[in-house]
Every structure is written in structure tokens, then in C-alpha cells.
Amino acid sequence: MDNNVIRLLVVDDQNIVRKGICALIEQVEDIDVVAEAANGEEAISQAEKFHPDVILMDLVMPKMDGITAIQQIMARQPQVHIMALTSFVAEDKVLPAIKAGAMGYLLKDSEPEELIAAIRKVNQGEPSLHPNVAKMVLEELSKPAKQPLTPDPLTEREVDVVRLVAQGLSNRQIADKLVIGEATVRTHVGNILGKLHLANRVQATLYALREGLTSLNQIDYPKES
């Protein structure tokens, strides 16, 4: 298989939704559905068996819900990129999914083009949040932090990098802007996540906003069509 093809696991307890997504993805050359699952337990098993690059994860399912599955998959396969795909925009679903490690959150009534673009973006390790979800997440920032996220401060260069991560730039774009190598950017991002005990770039964005390193109008979230 072409190494550039994104390996996708589709998780949803509704057969018609799951099969519909798979039928859509069949028409996309750079994405391949390697497995399906109907609940969280199956998702964990299929993720371990097929090692997908991206997982589309429904959140409300029998046997094991999507949030629990995200937590367990991220604990075992931290390199995988997970995007929540659900009908619900509720604080008790959105925030736990992101805190568990989801890099994207898309609604099931989104356009097919939005879904495909989101899969590609998440595969690159970049956040992809539906605008309504982004607003809810950002509202969380108005609540004061209970305690500092880390006793280990970021270096000046790491602050530069996390600020650009929060603005939605890819590693390549950050490298060009800071005139450094892309591998160096990856190293900085890894160090940042490690120091701050964060799972991914979504959580790094929240940190940057909370610490005043960037502002809402500088963040490049998807626009509603």
C-alpha cells in the first residue's frame, strides 16, 4: 500500500452511518478504510490489530462509549490521531473527548468535503474542530486554571513554536516562519507536549490561549460554509 495513503478506522454503532462513511471514503484516493467497529471495545481491538493512522470515533455507543475508548487507545497507541464524529454538541461530550486526546471534533451533519478535509488535517497532527465546538472549547478558557500546568518553563523558542501551533500552522509552515528545519519543529513540539503534559496540538492551543500567548482572532478554525 502507498505510504501516503491514510489508514482509517471507522467507529459507529449505527450501521447506516458507518457504511455511509465507508462508501464515501472509497471514492477518495488518499484515504483507505482498513477496519470498522460498532462500539468502543471493538474499536480498541481493531486499533491494536490494524494500527490505523486516524480513527473516526462516535461517542455514544453500547458496551463502551467513545470517550472511554479514546482514553484507552491513546494510552496504548499515543501516535494515533482520533477525531470524534457525533451528533452532539454538549459540554459533557466535547470537553472530555478533547481532554482524552481527540484532535478533532466534527458533527455528523457536516458536508462530506468537510469530513475528508478534517481527516487529512488530523492525520497531519493538526487540530480540526467544528466551529460550534471550537466556541464551546474556547469558553472553557474563561475559567481560571486550578494550578500551573507545569513547573518546567518553556524556552523562548518553544514559546515561539507553541504560539504558532495555536495559530493553526503546520510544522512546515512553522519551520518556514522561524527559518528552522521541520525536524527541529517536530522536536520542539514534542518537548512542549512533554513539558506541559499535553496529549496533542489541540491541548497546546488551549494552553497558549490560557497563557495569553495568542488570541482568539489569530486561531485558524474551520469556517462554516
Express each pLDDT in 134-144 by its tens digit: 666 666 655 55
Tell me which of 60 and 146 has the higher pLDDT.
60
pLDDT-based confidence at 222, cuts 50/70/90?
Answer: very low
Q: Where in the chain is the domain with CATH 1.10.10.10?
A: 156-218
Distance between CA 208 and CA 214 in Å, rounded? 6
Q: Give the amino acid at 184.
A: T
Is the pLDDT score of 2 beyond 70? Answer: no
Identify whether the C-beta of residue 33 lies closer than 8 Å to the C-beta of residue 10.
yes
CB atoms within 10 A of CB 208: 25
CATH architecture of 156-218: Orthogonal Bundle (1.10)
Q: Where in the chain is the domain with CATH 3.40.50.2300?
A: 6-140
CATH for 6-140 (3.20.20.140, 3.40.640.10, 3.40.50.2300, 3.40.250.10): 3.40.50.2300
Q: Please give the model's pTM, rounded to 2 decimal places.
A: 0.69
Identify whether the C-beta of residue 46 lies closer than 8 Å to the C-beta of residue 8.
no
The order of strands in the sheet holding 81-86 is 31-37, 6-11, 54-57, 81-86, 104-107, 128-129
- How many residues would you count in the chain? 225
